[in-house]
Amino acid sequence: MITITQAVIRKNSKNEEFVALILTSGVEMVKAKSTNKFYATVRTASVPSTLSLELAKEMVGQRMKGMIVKSPCEPYMYKTHSGEEIELTWSYIYTDEPENLTEEVFS
């Protein structure tokens, strides 16, 4: 399950504004490669919409079926919370397709 956590105004490549929904996954535990310790995190994805900003804001808090998964993309630079710039070749996207049979059976 994912949750709609924000509604924001974005601009497309033609500089036209549109409303996007920010989706957030449930919490997951990830083991840090450098320390071998776990930390809690969530995945977020931005999804374009045809909704007005007012209507989109009313959707905040709603839960929906689906998940946020990693998807390959063109390389881009990303600034981490510590200010370090790194190149990424993936982004998070929303999907309503189960990643495996267990997710399909138990969702």
For position 98, what pLDDT does the model report? 72
For position 105, what pLDDT does the model report? 47
Q: How far is the C-alpha of 15 from the C-alpha of 21, rounded, in Å?
A: 18
For position 44, what pLDDT does the model report? 96
For position 99, what pLDDT does the model report? 65
Report whether 94 contacts 45 (CB < 8 A): yes
For position 101, what pLDDT does the model report? 47
Alpha helices for the chain (secondary structure H): 53-59, 101-106
Q: How far is the C-alpha of 9 from the C-alpha of 78, rounded, in Å?
A: 21
Which amino acid type is present at position 23? L
**Of the candidates 3, 1, 7, 18, the residue with the CA atom closest to the CA atom of residue 58:** 7
Q: By percentage, how much of the chain surpasses pLDDT 70? A: 92
In tens digits, the chain (107 residues) has pLDDT values of 999 999 999 999 999 999 999 999 999 999 999 999 999 999 999 999 999 999 999 999 999 999 999 999 999 999 988 999 999 999 999 999 876 544 454 44
